[in-house]
Structure 1
């Protein structure tokens, strides 16, 4: 990799770090290419990204960002997972680490706060942004549907009463 390509990679990573809310660091020693590809696919499906990059270049990209504390974890075969949704990358990383002993979580930073492995696991148990949106929408819609049913109830009761009187009148006329 020539100097220009390295500079471009550092700039790209710096841009990623400025747009991201969570970065998870993990060691992937012993993982096969197919396993890393599978992990990338799972991350992409969850709306997150997974990148293996040179530690020195990643440390340069981390300088001056809210993720600067991750530089100390950049030793050995290291990869980063990141996402705008603070839960997505953590969920996939924790699930993958449970299934595969060769992928080891080292730490993370979310919104400038450093997390240890237990913090990442706790974050992974939270509902994702999409799940929270669905719950909120359900909570908003529930009162509206209750109001509609309450408003329709008197009309339905009135219709049943009128129907009963109509049947009673038909029976008396017959």
Structure 2
């Protein structure tokens, strides 16, 4: 690979890292061709882009960004693949866990991830990433919490009005 080709790949990766808030670095060494095909198919079905890239190119692309990704230096060894997802930080984590379960092997390893510039390193972080809520889920919860008191007040007022009307009706019928 020539320097120009490497520069093009680094530039593409830099733009991809800058424009995609969710990316994962994995290790798929030792996987058979059929396992890699299965992984790529699963990625395609979930809207995850999967690319195998040299560690030095990943490292140089990350160095061009404003965020400090130096904690990835320890995991950028051996075979590395990068998963990009434009909308959710937990879809790739769920995909990795599901692939491990389906294949019955532990060949696909999670090295690290960046979720909205927060860095997660190590296999132990996979469950943490799966439990993360997306921005849309958090916004929905906040809206639900904000609507709850208003709904309670309206509910109390309408039910109280119905009770009062029922009492008045009963009293007026008794007088007759």
Q: TM-score, normalised by structure 1?
A: 0.73
In structure 1, how many angstroms separate the alpha carbons of the residues matched to 2:39 and 2:120? 27
- Residues 99 and 137 (structure 1), Cα distance of their counterparts in 2 relative to 1, 3 Å cut: farther
Conserved 8 A contact 2:40-2:50: no
Partner of 1:160: 166
**Where does the alignment leave 5 or more consecutive residues of structure 2 unmatched?**
none
In structure 2, how many angstroms separate the alpha carbons of the residues matched to 1:57 and 1:40? 24
Partner of 1:148: 154
**Where does the alignment leave 5 or more consecutive residues of structure 1 unmatched?**
none
Conserved 8 A contact 1:23-1:67: no
How many pairs were matched up?
Answer: 165
Between 91-100 and 1-10, report the one with greater CA deviation. 1-10
- 1:144, distance to aligned residue in structure 2 (A): 1.5
Q: TM-score, normalised by structure 2?
A: 0.72
Q: Once the two structures are superposed, what CA deviation does each residue of 1:24-66 show, in whole Å capped at 9, x if it has no partner?
A: 2112232232331213322x2xxxx332132143233122333
Conserved 8 A contact 1:51-1:79: yes
Structure of greater Rg: 1
**Aligned residue runs from structure 1 range 1-174, under 5 A:** 6-29=6-29, 30=31, 31-42=35-46, 44=47, 49-55=48-54, 56-65=56-65, 66-83=68-85, 85-100=88-103, 101=105, 102-110=107-115, 111=117, 113-169=119-175, 172=176
Q: Please provide the CA RMSD for this pair.
A: 2.9
- 1:140, distance to aligned residue in structure 2 (A): 1.9
Structure 1 SS opposite 2:26: strand
Structure 1 SS opposite 2:24: strand
Structure 1 SS opposite 2:64: coil
- Residues 114 and 152 (structure 1), Cα distance of their counterparts in 2 relative to 1, 3 Å cut: closer
